[in-house]
Amino acid sequence: MAANPHTNGGLLRTELYTPDIRGYAVAVDQPGLIKAQSTKILGEYLRDVLKLNEREKNFRIFGPDETASNRLSAVFDVSDRVWMAETFDTDDHLSSDGRVMEILSENLCQGWLEGYLLTGRHGFFSCYEAFVHIVDAIFNQHAKWLQVAQNSNGESQYHRSTIS
């Protein structure tokens, strides 16, 4: 691992480019007339984050096999699920260069995310509310570790995660 410059604790941190969030606001002229799905809009936002960071390839989405069912499917307009094994015609959005990492293990996804953040890159963790308690204590411990890792100026070389 020492031969990989990304394993130096985030010293090669890359900037995350994000779209203007105001472009995703739902205009509500009169209450009760507009139907919108917040997670579908979030999926469109995440799709655009992936697009803006395509060159750097510094943003990944992690989750326990729920990206589509969480209504974040718009990300599949610009990325696939990462998959290193053989693919078949019936497979859905699988490729070796995908930016979405899914496996049905909240613990493993959280570990992947934490390790990815420590390389100076950025990530998003998506999980159903009913299951996020499986890893909430791990996220709390990671947040405490980030707090301890801050220097006297309140800055840290390590990235924070975004949890949905």
What pLDDT, on the 0 to 100 scale, is given for residue 118?
Answer: 82
What pLDDT, on the 0 to 100 scale, is given for residue 123?
Answer: 96
What pLDDT, on the 0 to 100 scale, is given for residue 153?
Answer: 60
9 neighbors 159 (Cβ within 8 angstroms): no
Lowest mean pLDDT among 16-25, 134-143, 150-159: 150-159
What pLDDT, on the 0 to 100 scale, is given for residue 112?
Answer: 95
Per-residue pLDDT for 164 more than 90? no
Q: pLDDT tens digits, residue range 80-92?
A: 999 999 999 999 9
Residue 71 burial by Cβ neighbours in a 10 Å radius (0-12, 13-18, 19+): middle
**Domains plus CATH for the chain?**
37-163 (3.40.50.970)
Per-residue pLDDT for 155 more than 70? no
Return the amino acid letter for 9: G
What end-to-end distance do the CA atoms of the chain give, in Å? 30
Q: Which residues of 77-100 are buried (b: 16+ CB within 10 A; e: fewer)?
A: eebbbebeeeeeeeeebbeeebbb
pTM of the model: 0.85
Return the amino acid letter for 20: D
Q: What is the mean pLDDT of the chain?
A: 88
